[in-house]
Structures are given as structure tokens and as C-alpha cells.
Amino acid sequence: MPTNTGSTNTFPVKFSHESDAGHVMYFKEHVTKEPSQLEVSNRTVFVINVPPYCTQECLERLFGCYGEIEDIVVQQTPGPSVTSSNLKTSQYFPPIEKITGFHVAYVTYEDADSIERLKKKKIKDPKVLSTSKSHIATGLEKWCNEYRNERPDVDLLQKEIDEFMLAYDKDNKKKEEKKKKSEEEPDDEGWITVSRKGPKPGVARTEKNQTRTLIKESQKRKRKELSNFYTFQMRETKREHIAELRKKFEEDKRKIAEMKVARKFKPY
């Protein structure tokens, strides 16, 4: 079995001692252009072709033989990630979506010498993933475990939600206090920050907002232009209304008289 393919090294594994078939993972020193990852790139190995049954605990056990591990990040595909094994994760709300099938991993050691020891080690015999001490559930046992984990205890779930909301409200309160303090204090040049909060919040001076404001002002002016603004206009309007009513009354009287003459009038 090859142990090195150019710059990539092989790491043979198998599921259990009874397994006849093996599997090969590949790893190499991680190289990145991300500024946030440059500090740890010389201490990180990039592992691909990780089988679905290889858990994070298996990776810690396999790669931990060559040095102290600082962090392990497991992803579905290669790329930048904000998740970490050192982050406080929730039992009921995982920070990332469930990883299925073959995946990749980033193993970060505490020192760069661990990577050199790993690359110099010629791994010929496959490493066992599922042992008596580190059992990997499969088949019906795995499905039962997943079923139980997907239906958490209501009291524990409520407790975690309450703790999260308390921490969230506390953090928001600190941010509001800090923002309020910065608004009240002038900067180095003597300027005071004006926020959009308050009984009459300000509006961003964008072209869209200015157009909307002009339309509203135009509609407001039209509503103010009343037709019966003066007293004589109100008197004239009343007279015209009364004359219209009298005209309609006379027309109705004439129609009734015509119907009587034609003997077609039926009052009941």
C-alpha cells in the first residue's frame, strides 16, 4: 500500500479488527491564503476521504498519537469555516448542518513539530476505528441513538433556551449601553453621533427616501387646498345644494302627476 503520493500522505484505516476490507484517508500540510488562518496553517493538516463512520473522537485518537491536538474541524466539503471543536456547542441546536457521507477534516496541532512526526511516520498497518473502548454504533443501534437524540427532554431543552436568552439579553443590554454612551460623548473633533432612534427618528438621505418625502409633501399640500375655505364659498355651496334638491323635488312631482293622468299610479 503506498504511503506517499507526492505531497499527499496516506493514512490506512479499517472499521474494526474483524473487517477484511480497509480504507485509505489522505492528508497533507494545510496551505491557505485566508489571513485569519495564516497563524495556524503551519500547524494544521488537511485530511480528505474521511469515511462516514469516522467520528471526531476517532480523528483525535488517530492523529493524537503524534502530538497534542489543539482543534479539529469537520466539514462536508473543503473551504473556510467558522466552526470549531473548542466552541461551546448546543446539544439540541448544533452550529452546523448534519454531515453525511464522506467528508474532510482540519486537524490543528499545538506545535508544528507534530506535523513533521506525522509525515515521517510510515503507516503500513490500517488503524482500527471501532474498538472495545471506543465503540462506533452502526445499523439499528445507530438509528435508535439518532431517534433518541432527536427527541430531547423538554425540561432540559427549556433550560438551555432560557440560559441562551438571558445571555442574549445581557449582551444586547451591554451593546445598547455602549452605543448610548458613545452618542452622548463627542469624538476627538467635537462631533456627537446622532442616532435614528427616538420619538422622531431620522431618515437616511438617499434618493429613494427623498423622492418619497417629496411625494408625501405634495399630497399633503393638495389636502390643505380646501375648496370651501372662505365664508362666501360655503354660502354659495349651500345655496347650490338647496336649489338642486328643489329641482329634483319638482321633477318627482311632475312624474307623479303624469302617472296619475295615465292611471298607472299605484301607491300601494
The secondary element (H helix, E strand) that includes residue 225 is none
pLDDT 10s digits, 96-149 = 667 888 999 999 998 888 888 888 888 888 898 988 888 888 888 888 988 887
Q: How far is residue 107's CA from residue 3's CA, in Å, rounded to a whole number?
A: 19
Q: How far is residue 178's CA from residue 168's CA, in Å, rounded to a whole number?
A: 15
In this prediction, residue 2 has a pLDDT band, given cuts at 50, 70 and 90, of: very low
Low-confidence winner among 38-47, 132-141, 148-157, 202-211 (lowest mean pLDDT): 202-211
Contact 100, 52 (CB under 8 A): yes
Mean pLDDT, residues 188-199: 63
Q: How far apart are the first and last CA of the chain?
A: 112
pLDDT of residue 133: 85
What's at 110, amino acid-wise? E
pLDDT 10s digits, 55-102 = 888 999 999 989 999 989 888 888 776 555 555 566 666 666 678 889
Sequential DSSP letters for 106-159: EEEESSTHHHHHHHHS---SPEESS-SSS----HHHHHHHHHHHTS--HHHHHH
pTM for the predicted model, two decimal places: 0.54
Q: Is the pLDDT of residue 49 over 80?
A: yes
Kindly state the percentage of the chain with pLDDT values over 70: 76
